[in-house]
Structure 1
Amino acid sequence: MGGLEHLNLLRMFDIIYSERSLTHAGLALNISESVVDNALHRLRTNLDISLFVHKRRGGMMPTSCADGTALSAQQRYRRRSIAEAKWIATAAGWK
């Protein structure tokens, strides 16, 4: 998995985790629910763990594995975003 895809999947995980809904995550990211669902499938496949389960009345409930990795994923995503922003600024000659 490439660096950018990894970052996008971390971001997707963060949004799904906070929204507790694929539909709401899609709206927050301005993408379709099916794109969010596909990203969640890639996460599940790459990590080989179940991160969310469907609730009876709609929405998603994080598993204990998701709860355990949520803070770590959020921190990694934010650190990576800051590092990439600094790299872009440097490459563009911004100060």
Structure 2
Amino acid sequence: MPAALSANPTVLELLDRGAVTPEAIVRLAETYLSTPGLRLYTLAFGFVLDIAAAVQAYPIARAVADSSLSSFRSKRATVTTAIMLARPEKV
């Protein structure tokens, strides 16, 4: 039997539990990259993620996302990783 969600789960934990789909995470990363200034995003029922804070908290994500030398695929992968490591707030 799988363990229960922690009180403050990461997006990866929500993904493992089926509360979030992989496609939703990739779409969020793409939305973030195409929408400067995006902050709060309703990730799943009852969970809101501050996407800008998630990217800032992952050391390399901001540098890769801002680099003109990085491909879109690299940017998306890095932002996706930052999202999966983030801990959304329960509302």
- TM-score normalized with structure 1 length: 0.33
Which structure carries more relative contact order (alpha carbon 8 Å, separation 6+)?
A: 2
Structure exhibiting the larger radius of gyration computed from Cα positions: 1
More strand by share: 2
More helix by share: 1
- TM-score normalized with structure 2 length: 0.34
